[in-house]
Amino acid sequence: MGLMDLVTLIPQAIPGLHYLSDPASLLHQLGPWALVGVAVMVFIESGLLFPFLPGDSLLFTAALLHMALGINIWVLIGVAFVCAFLGDQMGYFLGSRFGRGLFKDDARVLKTEHLHRAEEFFHKYGGRSLVLARFVPVVRTYVPLVAGMVRHPYRHFIGWNALGGFLWVGIMSAAGFFLGGVPLVANHVDLIAIIIVFVSLLPMVFEILRSRSKGSAPKRAAAPSPEHEIV
């Protein structure tokens, strides 16, 4: 497979959900370009404002299949970390340079609602959000953008960005590496990938449900003031 085949194949993961639930197929089809594919997709999800890529499950699966793919596990971790770090740097730059102008209410990808969710997440956790958001799909793509928009101190941003990228890549890769020797996991990679996607989406689902429950909660009637009480 040549470089042009790689460029053609990776976007095929974008329109549908096939590769979201089966990153093993994507990695096997990429063949000797699997490491490059991981690097490109991690960077895109982290910094180019396209959140619908299998970041968690892709790292897990790549580490689990690293021997079959001919990839050194340390090289995989190092390359993925660099791409995750640089991706967030790109997100910070886009936020500080273009800000809200990139988003529209009726956009297919850059929806304003995604930006609002990331803003709430950032304001709630501050710099720590750059670490926590790594483990929340969609949110992790836009939090660096918000950090750039609000001009979060750059030297603080770099530190949190490095820590978040290291923990995310390290934990996902270590899980795949150590569980690769478990027959139940190794023989059901596609099912494990679906479970990872499902679990990673749970925090976002809970947050949406919590917000809706707050919005639908009936407001309590205000108690009458003393001057209006009937004696």
Of residues 43 and 151, which shows the higher confidence score? 43
10 within domain boundaries: no
Retrieve residue 182's tokens: 């478990």
How many domains are there within the chain?
Answer: 1
Of residues 82 and 9, which shows the higher confidence score? 82
25 is in which domain, residue-wise? Answer: 15-206
231 within domain boundaries: no
| CA 166 to centroid of chain Cα atoms | 14
230 within domain boundaries: no
185 within domain boundaries: yes
First to last CA, the chain: 88
217 within domain boundaries: no
Q: In sequence order, what DSSP letters do the residues of 18-74 get, joined into one string?
A: HHHH-HHHHHHHHGGGHHHHHHHHHHHHHHSS---S-HHHHHHHHHHTHHHHT--HH
**pLDDT tens for each residue of 173-199:** 988 888 766 665 655 555 565 566 555
106 within domain boundaries: yes
**Over 90: is that where the pLDDT of 166 sits?**
yes
32 within domain boundaries: yes
